Chains A and B, each alone.
Chain A
Amino acid sequence: MTTAERRHSAVATAGLTKVFAKACALDGVDLSVPEGSVFGFLGPNGAGKTTTLRILAGLAKPSGGSATVFGHDVVSGADAIHAQLGYLPDVPGFYAWMTAREFLVLSGRLFRIPAATLDERVDALLDLAGLTDTDTRVGGYSRGMKQRLGVAQALINAPRILLLDEPTSALDPIGRREVLEMIAGLAGRTTVFFSTHILADVERVCDTVAILARGKVVAQAPIDELKTRHGGGHHVLVEVDDSARLEASLRGQPWLIGVSRQGREIDLEVTDLDDAYRHVPAVVAAEGLALRRLEAAEVSLEEVFVDLVEGAAPGAAAGPASDAAPTAAPGAAL
């Protein structure tokens, strides 16, 4: 990554390494998070997601490599980063004797937010967190309430970057939806970097993801690109009354990469979906067949995730997948 690229990235890491007494938590992590993006940081438990977030938040120091947030080094420029940062750890700790309002006011005062602005912002955030009507001290909150307050306190300074560690893990479905909608609403204005292993959340709000396995980034790309790249290209499912005839007729088409047939269903791997939508019905009509189904078959993020993470496991047949050397999703015709 060039210096200019690092400067334009909200988060950039190069060869980031973190070694604890007996384990290597991060092993040369290279990341580039575009400013304004909603970036999903995926990985199984123990992959190093929380360690990465702690380093970016200035809570832990790297053992090697570098990490910057808006061009500020995470070690030497921590003060500059904290002024623009909203951070939510996986299990946020609050002063049990405070109310939610008191905690938000304290947080705002640390950012030197003027009193009038702070009052308005605290009201808005309490409303967002669904904590407006409670005067209970935080010590009496459920985990979900604490998580919502955690999101609210991370937003108190209208941060330029939000680092969220498993932000939806303790929430009920409604709270989860609200937090995800809030995250999606920040896209373009605030860079959101959030770690999770809930793939549905990532598919819902993220534009770009990185997958971390055993301390290494095994893939980083926009979600669609990742699916295409690691799912073995575009797939179209076709169902007709005589699939053998259609298969024979389609072979040799320039937009067709591969064909596999199972009963009446044909799985076509194609170079371009639009080409397939144009030409398949024409061939079906020319053969006098009845077209019962024609739809794109997308590989799921879960399949990509499992494939990449298992590929990174020790003893896997292939080495860790990377953007430069993509592997096929299970079952994909290559």
Chain B
Amino acid sequence: MNGLGPFLGKELREIRKTWRLYVLPGVLLFLGLTTPLLAALTPKILKMTAQRTPGVVIHFPTPTASDSYLQFMGNLAQLALLVIIVTGAAAVAGERRAGTDVLMLTKPLSRAGFIVAKSISGVLLVVVATLLGTALCIAATVVIFDAAHIARFVESVAVWLVLAAMFATLMVLLSAWTERQAAAAGAGLGVYVSLFVLTGFPAVRNVSPAGLLAANDALLKGKDAALAMPLATTAVLAVLFVVAAAWVFRRKEL
């Protein structure tokens, strides 16, 4: 795979020097800090609102660390995945639009190397941003609540990361295929919505990435979740998306 190392180095420097450094890590750090705060304050805010309305009485259970982690996982499954889809749509399409790929790919950089570098950097960004957001969420939750359920939370995040990595590589494929950021983002959103719909079908959910989308609640509550098959298929799909992206991109005229 010619040129993978230097081009991957460029991809990682690009993350540090452009908007990519701020978007996904920024969103996850923001969620990591605000989710525990909101988990603690939301019942109080709603109680105060209810007290202003005569005759309305609302009873809330006392919020716990588990509520904080549950909300954070909900945010990962929705907001964070959407950010991954929208930003990942530019992976190849952005280079096509700017014409930068032409100067790179007429040097000893293979198209497979180009795609693999894009995939690795995309997954690395997701992993690092998630670790930062998760660490901040744990720290804030421990300060506001207590140190309970950290292991379960970390396990949930690890499962989500596999799904997020699959979406990162999916977006490289869609970006290489459509060559347009908006089209790739639209297709990615279509896959995301479809996956949510499939969580309602146990036969599919138990063997597909949809199982990972639905697993957070059970994992955080310490229930058994049969995740071996969904994890395996998601990991295999992530690799297949990279292979397919390289194949599609090799056939493209630039």
Residues of chain A at the chain B interface (Cβ within 8 Å):
54, 57-61, 79, 82-83, 85, 87, 89, 91-97, 106-107, 109-112, 150, 153, 157
Contact = CB atoms under 8 A, between A and B. Distances in A.
The secondary structure that dominates the B interface is: helix
Nearest to A106: B10
B254 A110 contact: no
A104 B9 CA distance: 14
A95 B100 contact: yes
A110 B6 contact: yes
A91 B14 contact: no
B252 to A, nearest CB: 9
Contacts of B5: 109
Identify the 3 closest CB pairs spanning chains A and B, nearest first. Answer: A93-B99, A109-B6, A87-B106
Given A91-B99, A106-B6, A110-B3, A57 B106 contact: yes
Contact of A94 (B2, B14, B103, B253): B103
B102 A59 contact: yes
A89 B107 contact: no
Contacts of B14: 95, 97
Interface string B99-120: 1111111111110000000000
A58 B106 contact: yes
Contact of B103 (A61, A79, A153): A153
A3 B105 CA distance: 29
Nearest to A92: B103
Contacts of A60: 253-254
A93 B103 contact: yes
A132 to B, nearest CB: 21
B62 interface: no
Contacts of B108: 79, 82-83, 110-112
A326 to B, nearest CB: 36
Contacts of A93: 98-103
B235 to A, nearest CB: 30
A128 B136 CA distance: 50
Interface of B: 2-3, 5-7, 9-10, 14, 17-18, 98-110, 253-254
Contacts of B2: 79, 110
Contacts of A83: 108
A28 B121 CA distance: 43
A33 to B, nearest CB: 17
B239 to A, nearest CB: 24
B106 A97 contact: no
Q: Which of B105, B106, B109, B253 counts the most A-chain CB atoms under 10 A from its CB?
A: B106
A93 B96 CA distance: 9
A110 B107 contact: yes
17 contacts: A57-B106, A58-B106, A59-B254, A82-B109, A83-B108, A87-B102, A89-B102, A93-B100, A93-B103, A96-B98, A106-B10, A109-B5, A109-B9, A110-B7, A110-B109, A150-B103, A153-B103
Given A93-B100, A94-B100, A97-B17, A59 B107 contact: no
Contacts of A58: 105-106
A153 B107 CA distance: 10
Nearest to A80: B108
A150 B98 CA distance: 14
Contacts of A153: 103
Given A79-B2, A93-B98, A110-B6, A61 B253 contact: yes
B91 to A, nearest CB: 14
B20 to A, nearest CB: 10
Q: Which of B2, B9, B107 counts the most A-chain CB atoms under 10 A from its CB?
A: B107
A92 B100 CA distance: 7
A167 to B, nearest CB: 14
A95 B7 CA distance: 12
Nearest to A108: B6
Q: Which of A60, A79, A96, A110 counts the most B-chain CB atoms under 10 A from its CB?
A: A110
B103 A59 contact: no
A82 B103 CA distance: 11
A111 B104 CA distance: 11
A106 B9 CA distance: 9
Contacts of B107: 82, 85, 107, 110-111, 157
Contacts of A112: 108
A89 B102 CA distance: 8
A87 B14 CA distance: 23
A224 B64 CA distance: 89
Contacts of A79: 2, 108, 110
Given A110-B108, A111-B108, 8 more contacts: A58-B106, A59-B253, A79-B110, A87-B102, A89-B102, A95-B100, A110-B104, A111-B107
Nearest to A94: B100
